[in-house]
Amino acid sequence: MKSYKINKNLLFASLTSIVVAILIGGCSDSDKAKETAKAPVHEVFNPFDHSKDEPVTVDEKHKFHDAFAAQCVARELKNSVNVEEDIARFTKSCECVTTYMLKDLTDEEVEKYLAEHENPRSLQIKFTGAAYHCAQQQPIDKGFKVYQQNPPVKKEEGFFSKFF
């Protein structure tokens, strides 16, 4: 076996090259690395994110409220038997539904409803949620009489006592 002798020149050259490699690697420009990392970010479309939508103006909300409430009352009165009595009840419930829907109404929904006379699916979903909310808020109408007293308890008799 042959043994190698470590030469002073070889040791000095290897240590110098290691130090130079570490210094060159450590002196890289970090700003260029940050810029290249930010550039390829691609934003994914989220249809449920309404944070970037244009806000609905008060005038548009008022027009929507009036038109939607009128359409709601007309739809409910279509199958009504007693129109005069039902108008007040349906107006109150439709106002509640429309007011609840205005809380998270988007500009696109108002535009489609007012300008294009369409009911987008999102409005139908909001209507269902608002109708459920308003139905939970209203007390139950007790227009019918409830039998409050317990019926009289019949005395149990034997089988043969019925015949005698």
CA 29, 32, 33: angle at the middle one, nearest 5? 90
Residue type, 152: P
pLDDT digits (tens, 9 = 90+) for 44-98: 777 767 667 677 788 888 898 999 999 999 988 998 888 888 898 899 999 999 9
> Average pLDDT in the 105-133 region?
86
> Average pLDDT in the 136-144 region?
65
- Does 17 score more than 60 pLDDT? yes
Instruction: Report whether 76 contacts 97 (CB < 8 A).
Output: no
First to last CA, the chain: 130
